[in-house]
A = this chain, B = another copy of it.
Amino acid sequence: MTPATAPPAPGARNTRTAATRAAITAAAERLFAERGVSAVSNRQVGEAAGQANNTAVAYHFGTKTDLIRAIIRNHAQDIEARRAPMLESVRGSADIRDWIRCLVLPSTEHFAALGTPSWYARFNAQVMTDPALRALIYEDALASASLQETLQGLRATAGAIPPRIRRTRADMARQLLVHMCSERERDLALTAAGTADPGQQHWAGAPVDGDAGTWAELSADLVDALTGLWTAPVTR
B-contact bits for A106-135, CB 8 A (1 contact / 0 none): 000000000000000000011001110000
**A221-B204 CB under 8 A given contacts A131-B186, A175-B180, A180-B175:** no
In the assembly, how many copies of this chain are there? 2
On chain B, the residues within 8 Å of A172 by CB distance are 176, 180, 225
B228 x A224 contact (CB < 8 A): no
Q: Which residues 41-68 of A sit at the B interface, judged by CB distance below 8 A?
A: none
**A142-B179 CB under 8 A given contacts A172-B225, A228-B229, A235-B220:** no
**A229-B235 CB under 8 A given contacts A175-B176, A205-B151, A213-B168:** no
**Is A82 part of the binding interface, using a Cβ–Cβ cutoff of 8 Å?**
no
B163 x A206 contact (CB < 8 A): yes
* Contact among B36, B152, B225 with A169 in the assembled complex (CB-CB below 8 Å): B225
A104 CB, min distance to chain B CBs, angstroms: 13
Which of A34, A169, A176, A208 counts the most chain B CB atoms within 10 A?
A176
Give how many A residues have a beta carbon under 8 Å from the other chain's beta carbons. Answer: 64
**A203-B186 CB under 8 A given contacts A129-B126, A179-B179, A235-B224:** no
* CB nearest neighbor in B for A122: B131
Q: Which residues 211-227 of A sit at the B interface, judged by CB distance below 8 A?
A: 211, 213, 217-218, 220-221, 223-227
* Contact among B176, B209, B232 with A224 in the assembled complex (CB-CB below 8 Å): B232
**Is A89 part of the binding interface, using a Cβ–Cβ cutoff of 8 Å?**
no
* Contact among B129, B165, B176 with A176 in the assembled complex (CB-CB below 8 Å): B176
